[in-house]
Every structure is written in structure tokens, then in C-alpha cells.
Chains A and B, each alone.
Chain A
Amino acid sequence: MRLLSCTIVGFGRLKNQQIDFNDGLNAVQMENGWGKTTFAMFIEAMFFGLKGGGRRTLSMREHYRPWDGSEYGGILSFEVNQRAYRMERLFGEKDGDDKFALYDEKGKPSEDFTENIGREIFQVDRDSYEKSIFFPQNALGTGMTDSLNAKMGDMAAARDDIDGYDAAIRRLEDAKLALTRGSKGEPGRLVLLTQEIKQRNEKLSERPAVADALEKQRGVLEEKRSLLSEMKKEKKELLDIEAGQSEREKELGIYTEKKEILAKLTGEQQILKEYFSAGFPNTEKLDKMEELARSLRVDRSQLEAAISRLPSDEEGERLFSIFENREISDEIMSGWEEKIREIVALRLKCEHADMSEEEKRQLSELESYFEKRNPTEKELEDAMADAALLAQYEGQVEALDEQYRNTRARSTADKNTDESGGAPKGFAYAVVAVAVLLCGSVAFGELLGGALGWTLAVLCAALGAGILGIIFSEERKRRAKKQGRAETLSRELRKAEEALYSKQRERDHQKEKCRSFLAGFLVSPADSYTQMIGEIQRKKEVYQRLLHRREQTMADNSETIEKLSALQVELYVVLSQYAELYHMDLNERHEEGELLERLRDDWRRYNILCENLEEKEQLERTVWKEETKLFSFLDRYPVSDSAEVGELKEAAALEPSDRLLYIRQKLSLYNEYEERLLGLKKDVEEFEAGHDIEAEEQAMAEAAEKKAALDERMTEMSAQLLKAQESESELSDRLEELDEISESLEALTEQEAQYRMKVDRYEKTILYLGRAREHFLTRYMGALQGSLARYLQIMEVELSQGKGGTSPFSLDLDLTIRLNRKGGLKDAEYFSSGYKDLFAFCTRLALVDVLYQKERPFVILDDPFANFDEQKTAKALSLIKKMSSRRQVIYFTCNADRMP
């Protein structure tokens, strides 16, 4: 495809411009500001229409609209598929106003392409066009677009994968690092496990040494056991020899034993002899002393009982203070008791003749009641008569009051009847009648007129006057009658009122009289004065009766009281000294019975005290005598030898009977020793007469010595064996620990193998994913990469192979190029801007080669080599010259140095 010519009617600053294009290279040098970019935009707009703008930028339509309002658009002639076309586009205010027309080479309208002619010819959208065949100034960088992607084979899904490749590799590397990280802060699990295994292996390395030591230690142990076992055998032999000794040797043993016993018993008998140095007591003496000891024990216990029966010292002193040096006896107290009984009887008698407590209480109350005023019977009868009269007056006043009220009611009723009676009503009727007649007369006169009219009018008037006269006459009569009746009622009312007031005064006088009588008494409120005075009358009667009863009682008791007083005086004189000791007041409380009771009780105690004291003194004397006798015997046999110091102390604390038993035992022992010594001496003397004792003893001593030495060696060997066992035990424990470590190591090693397998899998996955990526890119980006490699070589970019002969550069699906430098792929960003432009230029050329293989479109270069140095510019220009042999190149520059 190639451009033939164009006519720019109006587009930005370009107006009425006619440009013809050649095949191959069209290099145009224009000064800055001519409109190179505008021209390039015109070509794009002719193929793709105008592009909309963003919110903050002018749209292409606005940007390139001629400022003078002239026609906006132009004509472009081109050749495609070896057919020439002329395309006209005029741009309006908006997309809908745009006009598009296509004509074939004969000038006839053509429908080979629509207004989307750019997409239809190039098979890419505007964006892709800009990123491929249009090389703008200062923006050579390109990238993959959906449209380019589709044109290259629809690798949208693959692109997502490739985009996720780096993340996938990172994920795998992270997982691997989690196992293999060597940092001290957070080491990987495999590293930790390896360290653990190493540590355990280090510990386990001791095992052969420990096992060897254990083996040796067991050897030592075995040796010592063997030695000990031999010693045991030797000892057993010795014991066997001992056991197999002859009867003679046994007898020697018995002799030796008897001799030892003889010596021992002789010594002990000597001690007993010393004990009985005061003389050996005979059995009878000991029996007597034991009898005495038993009596002493009984007497001591009786003495203790007598002492225990004595009261406390305070109590004793108290009893002595009461009875000592006082004349008192049971008989005297019986006499006092008799008198007390008599006094009590007299008191009872007085009490029985006396008034009851209720009567006394009643009398006391009535005395208080009548203390202020004690009315006579006459006064009470008068008062009762007054009260009766008052009741009568009350009734009369009530009747008069009723009468007065009735009269007054009648008078009031009469007045009311008069005021609202028929006079006014009759008067009113009369006035109405007169008014009717008068009106009738006027009506007759006026309406009928004439004589009849006037006659009727006069008759009516006369009738009215007559009626009026009758009414006035009747009214005067009625009023006179009423006045007479009112005067009568008034008189009756005054009379009733006077009678009522008179009776009320009498009643009040009588009431005052009754009140003044009752003022001196405390009476319960009652309905009438009669009831109240009646209550006083009843109390008065009771009072009189009780007074009479008291006088009679006093007269009856006077003799008994006198007798009682005499007896009391007689008794109290005697008892007062004791009452004082007991802090009792006989005169006030008459507690002579209680006093005598306490006195009797204390008297009994006092007598017991005296008896006990006497018994105690007697027992003390007996005990003293017995002790003197007994201890004079016991003291002859003190346990004084040093060997029995402990026993001595015990003996001193013993009872005499126990000490006697002790002496008896000693005596018995002495006698036993005496008897045994006789037998032993006889046996020893007989044996010595028949044996060479010295030689036999020496042989036995040697055997015993040998046995003792063997025992000592065995003890020593046992101790050594024990130590050896301890060492063996320690080594055994250590070996157990190491065996446990060995067991645990197996699981850890298994775990380590699993971790290592995981690491291996991660590494292989990373490796194979990398290879897959390379394969993929090679498969789908191969042509592009090949073309790029060719252009990079033309531009003499240094290319070096990667590790393992991998490609010297990589181009991913985003058209991002990375070059291999120093063993790794470096992003274009690491290079200078000149190189970056160079890489981008080559990438664009490669992209154009790959994208447009069938229909080779023109390329427009808008001074793209501004950042290139002289050498690169020369190569680039050489390259576009070369390229122009295969496709139409439209090259703009403002610099003559950059002209091809």
C-alpha cells in the first residue's frame, strides 16, 4: 500500500496544501513549526477519522479545526491491492456531521471501503496504528494493544498467564525460601531441621564411645562380680569348715562360752554383794516390811481422802467465824425452830382474818375517790331529786319548743299565701278584660263606625269600667280579713315564745345545780345526770360497806398481833447476831425461817469439818510412824553402784513397795547367781582338766581372724561393685538417651527428605515454568523476536547469549524488551535514553514487519532520531533507506543532519 498524493483543504495550520508522494523514501526537511506532526495527524484522520478528547484535553476535532472557519478536511489518494482510490473527508462540528467519500481510479464512488477504512485496510485500530506504522517524535516506545494482540494471534489469555509468571515464580521462590532461608533471624524449616539433625547426629556420634565404655564397664563389673563370687565361695567354705568341726571343737566353744558366762556372773554377783553390804535381809523381814508398806499405802490414801474432804480455807474460816465461841447446839436451834413455827402460825391467822386483797384494793380506791368530797346520803338523795327534776324540765322545754316552731310555721305560711295569692292574678285578669273592652270599643268605633259602632264602643267601655270597680271592691275586703288573721297568729307566737324561754331558764338553773354537785366527783360520762349520780350512789354504798368491814377486822386481830410481836422480839434478839453475819434484815423481811435453815446447813458443815480435821491429824501421825520405820529399812539398801545410776534415779522415785520388790529381786538374783556359779565352776574345772585349751583356742582364733579378714575384703569388694554398678548405670542411661535420639532421628531424617524433595520440586517447577515461558514466547513471539534481533544487529547493538545459551534478549507480550547483560536480563530502563529510543525504534520496525506482511503499509516517521547520536542516526537513516525499498517511507525532520 502506498500514498499517492494529498490535498489538505484545512487541517490545523495546514491549508490548501498539495503534496505528492513518491514510492520508497519521501524525506522532507521542514523547519520547526511547519506542521510535521499536524501532517501526520491529517494522514491518521483521513484513515481513522478524528479522535475524541479527554475531559481536560481538547479533542482532535477541536485541536485541528481551522481557526478561520474555513473547510475542515482534505483529499487523500492512495493505492491498495494495486488499485488506486481517492478519499475525501470533511469534518463537521461532530462525528455525525463528518462526510466521507471514496472514489475509484475512474472517479466513480467506490464501496470497497467504508468510513472505517483505516481498520479495514490495516486490520488494526487507531491505537495500534499509532504504535506501529506511525513513529512519533520523542515517543518511540510502543506496546501491545488488543488490536495488535488480535492481529498477532489472539493471545489475551496467554498474556494473563505471562503476566502472572513473575508472581508465580515469586510464590515458588518464597515457598522454597520458607524451607531453605539461611538467615539467622528467620531460618527456613529445612535449615532448622538440618541443624537439628546435625546436632542430634553430633550427640549420636558419642554412641560408639558410650557403648564401648558401657561394654568395658560391664567387663569390670563382671570381673568384680566374679571376684565377689569367689569370696562368697571362700566364705562358704569357711562356714562349712566351721560347721564341720568336731564335737570337741563344739565343746571348746561351749567351754569358752561357759567361761565367759562364769566371769560375767562373778562380776555381777560381786556388784550384788556390794549392794547388800548392810546385810542380806531375810524373807520374814522383807515380808514384814512389805506388810508395813501396804499399810502405809492404805493410810496415805486415807489421809489424802481426808484432806480432799476438807473444804477450802475460806469456807473453813467462814464456818469458824459463825460457830466458834458461840453458844449453839441442835437443841437450841430446835427451840428457835419451834418459835418460828409459832410466829408463822400467828401470821397466817392474822392474814386469814384480814380483808381480802381485792377488798383492800377496792377500799383504797374508794378512799381516794371520796377523799375530796364524801357526800352524805341526804345530799345524794337531793342530788338525785334534782336530776329527776332536770329530766322533767328537759321534756317540757322540748314540748314548748315544738309548739313554738309550729306556730311560727303557720304564721310564715299565712304570709306566703297572702303574697302569692289571687289578688294580683285577679287584678291582672281584670286589667286584661278592661283592656279588651276598651280595645273593642275603639275597634267598634273605628271599624264599624256609625251609630251601631259607637254604641257598641260605649257599651264595651261601660262594661270595662263596671268590671274594674267590682275588682277593686273585692280586693279591699280580702285585705281586711287577712290583717285580722295575722294579728291573731302573732299573738299566739309571742305567747309560745315566752313560755319556751321561761322553761329553758328553769331547766338551765336545774342543770347548773346538778353540775355543781357532780364537780366534786370523777364519773364516767353518761346519757343523763340521773345515771351519773346513780353511779356515785353505788360507790358510796360499797365504800360504806368496806369501811365497816375494816373496822370489824381490826377489832378481831388485835390480840393475835400483840402475841406475834412479843414472839418476834424474843427471837430476833437471839438471831440478830447471825442475821448480821448473813447480811439479812429480820425486822424488815421476817426471814427468820431462811436464816435458821442456812444456820442449820452451816452447822452441819461445821461439824463435818471438825470431824475431818480430827481424822486428818490422827492419820498424819500414823503415816509418820510407818514411814519412819519403813525408810529406816529401805535406806540401808540404796542403789548406789555407778552402773545402776539410771535405775537409782528411778528407784528414788519408786514407791516403798516397789523398792522392796527391787530389793527382793536383787536378793533373788544373787541367790540365782550363787547357784549357777557353782554349776559353771564345776563344768569349767572338769573341762580344763580334760583339754588343751590354749591350742584349741588359738586354732579357733585363727579361723575367726581369717573369716573377719574375708568379711572385710568382701565389704570392700561390694563397695567397689556398687561404684562400678553406678558407673554402669550412668553409661546405660546415657546410652538410653542416645538410643532415643537415634529413634527420633529417623523421623527427622524422613521429614528432611520430604523437605528436600519439596525444595527439589520447587526448583524444578521454577525451571520448567521458565522453560515453558521461553517456549511460549518463542512460539508466539518468535517472528517478532527474530525481526527485532535482525534490527538490533543492523543497529549494532551488543548482543550476548544468556546462561546456557539462552536468547541474548527477551521480548515479552507487552513488547517490553530486556537485554542480557552480565549474566542476567536487564530492563530497557537500565539503559540511556538514546538506547531506549533505539530499542523502541527497532521494536516498532519489527512489529511493522510482523503485523503487515501481506499489505505493507507506508510508515510515517516524525523526526524520531532526535535522541540518537551521530553514529546511531546514520545507521537509522541507512536502515530507513534500506526499508524504503520494500515499503513507502515518509520521513520528516527539521534538521539537515538527520536527512538521509
Chain B
Amino acid sequence: MNSGKAGILIVDDRVENLRALEAVLEPLGCRIVTACSGRDALKLLLEEQFAVILLDVQMPEMDGFETASYIRDRHRTRAIPIIFLSAVSTSADHVFRGYEAGAVDYIVKPIDPVAIRSKVRVFLELYERGE
């Protein structure tokens, strides 16, 4: 199932955020796939596996929590680590909801590039070791 190189899925409804994160993570040298909605993310997840998903919480139509619940309900995608990205301050309630939805991490924007690169690198390595 984990065939091919580890890939990152970035989901955010704002294109400028997707471009910014792509630039930050590009030095990791892995495949980066972007989606601008929860639904587009689900379509991509039907076709391929990813080592980690960066998931914006505040999205129109289907927010990050709802998207994560679909991802978690499917056996094949249940174990993919999800890092939530939020513009809202980390109120305990919001963070708790994030972890309930299956997040392994919850990061508040604006994002520290060094921090997010190391966090993502960890999951890429875990994925490749897990084969």
C-alpha cells in the first residue's frame, strides 16, 4: 500500500496559503500535493496515500474537522497523521476538538517555517520506515 515516495497533502481554501506552505516544505524534497477544499482532499485520498496531511481548519462548505472525520472513518486513511492549521487562537475547546478529530498536531498561523518543516520531516521519515 505504501508504494512510491512519501507525499504531503496540503489542504487550504486560500491559494496563497498553499503556495506559501509549498515553498516552506519544498526543501524536504518530497512530493507535495495541494487541495483547496475538503472535498478535493477526499478525492485525492481515494487515489493515493500520503505520509502526512496539513489541514486548514477554517474552510467554507466543509471545515477541517469535518474533513478529518471522513478521513478517520475510512480504514485506509485512518492512520495518516493530520496536522491542523488554524488562524484561531488555541482555545482549549478548539484544540480539544482538533485532537478528537484525529489530529496529531495543531498549529496556529502565522506558521514558523522551521518548526513545520521539522514536524513534517518526522512524519515523512516514519512513513518511509513503516514500509
| Co-complex (A, B) | no
Q: State the A residues within 8 Å of B (CB).
A: none
Q: State the B residues within 8 Å of A (CB).
A: none
